[in-house]
Amino acid sequence: DGTITVAFDEPGFTFTLSEYSIEWYRGTHTTVPAGGTANDDFIADDATAAGTNSGNANAGTAIIPAGGDVTQLEGLETGTYTVFITKDGVASPNEGCDAFATF
């Protein structure tokens, strides 16, 4: 059982986590998989309840931890995991900017 925690910020600006969408997927991805949250590899996002995952075919045992911190996944099985982060729902600076990382 492993855990991943991602940290990110926006230097020079007030950082507010609610201004970002975060999506976790099982496997190595360089773009959001076709089907997005309906894709078999989708695990969780900022709408996923604490202590749960999507229930999709490849989500496995990975969950958003108690407390609902979407910057973390716990209960990880062996394998790779990809997180996509997008700034959305706000005006500039950096609206629509995104990043991803695979672990």
Q: Please list the pLDDT of the chain residue by residue as tens digits (103 residues).
A: 799 999 988 777 777 888 889 999 999 999 999 999 999 999 999 999 999 999 999 999 999 999 889 999 999 999 999 999 998 867 667 777 889 999 9
Q: What is the pTM of this model?
A: 0.91
- The answer to whether 44 and 65 have CB atoms below 8 angstroms apart is no
